[in-house]
Structure 1
Amino acid sequence: MAAPRQRRTAPKAAGETAAKSAAKSTAPASDIARRRMERRQASGRRSDARWEEILAGAGRVFTRLGYGQSTLEDVATEVGIRRATLYYYVGTKEELLVGLLHDPIETMRTRLEEVAAQPDPAPERLAAALREYVRTMAELPELFIFLSENVHQVMSGPEADHIRENADRYGRVLSQVIKSGADAGEFRDDIDPSIAVLGIIGMFNWIHRWYNPEGERSLADFGEVFIEMALSSLAPKG
C-alpha cells in the first residue's frame, strides 16, 4: 500500500506565531474587559474617563445603599447620566462590582505575596502582611464593599473568577506563612493554619461593621491591636 500523500503547507511567516501569542495574551479575559476595551477604542480618553466616573459613582451608591439594594438606575442618577448611557458600558450590576474590585483585590494579594517571600521570621512576616492588609483597606475603600457582601454568592458569573481566585490565593499564601512558622517552632503547631487564617481574617474583616473614620483611633491603630492579638494566639505554648 502506498504511503498516504502528505499535504504540504506553506511555512508560517516570521513572527506570525509570536504575533498570535501576543494577541492572545492581550485579549480581554472577560466580557466586561472586552466591553471596556471596545468603548475605549471607540471613544478614546473620553470613554475611559466616563468609565472611571461610573465606577466612582457605583462605589458611592453601593456604600450608601448596600450592593443588594442598589440598582443600575441609582448609579446612573448618581453619575448624572441617562440609564441608556450606562447600559452602553455595562449590562448588569455585577459588572460594576467586578470593575470596582478587580484592581484592589489584586493589589492586596500582590502585596501579601511580596511580604510572604521575605526571609524574615514568620511572626514578622505575618505582622507585616496584616499591616499591609489594613493599609490597603485604608487606601482602597472599595474593599469595604467587598467585605460587606458575600462575594462568592453575589459574583456567580465567570467575570468574577479573577476576584475569587485572588481572594482564595490570599488565604492560601497567609496559611503558608503560618505553617512555616509552626514548622520552625515560631508558632504553635496544634492549630490548623487554614483555620487560623479564617479566624484572623474574620477579625480584620469585621472592622467595616463598626469602624468610624471620624473617631479618635485610626484604622492603623486598630490594626496594631488586632495584630498583637493574632500573634499572641499563635505563640508557642509554654
Structure 2
Amino acid sequence: MEQASNIARRRKSALADGSPDYTAKRDELVQVASRLFKQKGFKATTLNDIAKEAGIDRATIYYYVASKDELFQEAIGGILNANIAEAERILKEEGPDPRAKLELLLEVLMLSYEANYPHMYVYIQELMHDVARDSSPWAKLMVKQTRRFEKITMLLIAEGVAQGMFREDIPIRLAVNGLFGMFNWTHRWFDPQGKKSAREIAQVFCTIFFDGISQPA
C-alpha cells in the first residue's frame, strides 16, 4: 500500500512538472494502449499487456498512468473537444447553405476518425453505450459533447427543411440516426492505409445521404 501511494505521489508530481520526456512516454502509452484496445478489446486488454507492448514492466507503467481507463480517457477527451469546437464554428459560419455546412461537418467527423485512428473507433466499438450509463464526470462530459454534435446536425437539417432544400416527410431524428449509423459503422472496416481516404468516404456518404433527402426538382 505504501509503495502504491509513493508511486501515485511521484506520478502526480511528474504530471504537474510536465517534462517533455514524461509527456512523450505517456503519449506513447496512449498509442500502444489504443492499438491493443482495437485488437483485443478494451475489457480484455490489461495493463500488463500494455506494459509488455511498450517494453516496460508493470511497476513502471504506474509511474505514468493509474489505470487503463486513464489511458482511454486521455485518448478520447481532446478529440471530442476539437470536434465540437469545429462543429460550432461551422454552424455559425455565414455564407454556406445547410447542405454545404453538413458536408463540412461530416468531413470533419470522418477526418477525425482517420487522424485519431484507432482511438475513436475503440470508443464507438466497445464503450459508447457503457459511457452513456456511467455517472462519472468524464462520462457525463462525453455524453454532453456527443449530444451537442448530434444537435448541431439536427439544427442544420431542420434549417434545410425550412428552406425547402430537404424533404419534410422524413423525421429529423431518424435522418440523423441513419447518418451517424453510416459513419460510425466504419469502425468495422475503415483502414487509414486503405484504398479510400477519409475525405473520399465522407463525400460518398454525403452523396448517398443527400440524394435521399433532397427535394425533387
TM-score (norm. length: structure 1): 0.77
| More displaced stretch, 158-167 vs 199-208 | 158-167
**Does residue 73 of structure 1 match 2:52?**
no
Are 1:136 and 2:112 counterparts?
yes
Distance in 2 between residues matched to 1:196 and 1:38, nearest whole Å: 48
Would the alpha carbon gap of residues 145 and 82 (structure 1) be closer, same or farther in structure 2, given more than 3 Å must change? Answer: same
Question: Residue 64 of structure 1 aligns with which residue?
Answer: 39
Q: Which moved more, 1:121-130 or 1:182-191?
A: 182-191
Distance change in 2, residues 1:230/1:43 (3 Å): closer
Mapped pair 1:107 → 2:86: no
**Residue 204 (structure 2) aligns with:** 225
The code of the aligned residue for 2:139 comes to: A
The sequence identity of aligned pairs, in percent, is 28
Aligned to 1:87: 62
Contact 1:94 1:154 in 2 (8 A): no
For 1:86 and 1:193, how far apart are their aligned partners in 2? 47
Which structure ranks higher in relative contact order (CA pairs < 8 Å, sequence separation ≥ 6)? 2
Gaps of 5+ in 1: 1-34
Q: Please give the alpha-carbon distance, in whole angstroms, between the structure 1 residues aligned to 2:11 and 2:206.
A: 39
Q: Cα offset for 1:206?
A: 0.8
Give the C-alpha shift of residue 152 in structure 1.
3.4
- 1:181-220 aligned at under 5 Å gives the runs 181-220=160-199
Matched residue SS, 1:217: coil
2:143 is equivalent to residue 164 of structure 1:
yes
Deviation, 1:200, is: 0.1
Shift of the alpha carbon at 1:203?
Answer: 0.4
Unaligned runs of 5+ in 2: 1-9
- Go from structure 1 to structure 2 and tell me whether the alpha carbon gap of 1:45 and 1:115 turns closer, same or farther (over 3 Å shift): same
Describe the SS at the equivalent of 2:43: coil
Deviation string for 1:176-223 (max 9, x for gaps)? 111111112111122222221111011011112122444433232222
Correspondence 1:47 to 2:29: no
Structure 2 distance, partners of 1:101, 1:216, is 26
Question: How far apart are the structure 2 equivalents of 1:168 and 1:49?
Answer: 32
Asked if 2 retains the 8 angstrom alpha-carbon contact of 1:152 and 1:164, the reply is no
Contact 2:131 2:143 in 1 (8 A): no
Letter in 2 for 1:189: E
Task: Kindly report structure 1 stretches of 4+ aligned residues shifted beyond 6 Å.
Answer: none
Query: What TM-score comes out, normalization by structure 2 length?
Result: 0.83
Aligned to 1:147: 124
Cα 1:225/1:42, change in 2 over 3 Å: closer
The corresponding residue for 2:4 is none
Q: Is 1:123 matched up with 2:99?
A: yes
| Structure with bigger gyration radius | 1
In the alignment, is the contact (CA less than 8 A) between 1:105 and 1:143 conserved in 2? no
Equivalent residue pairs, number:
204
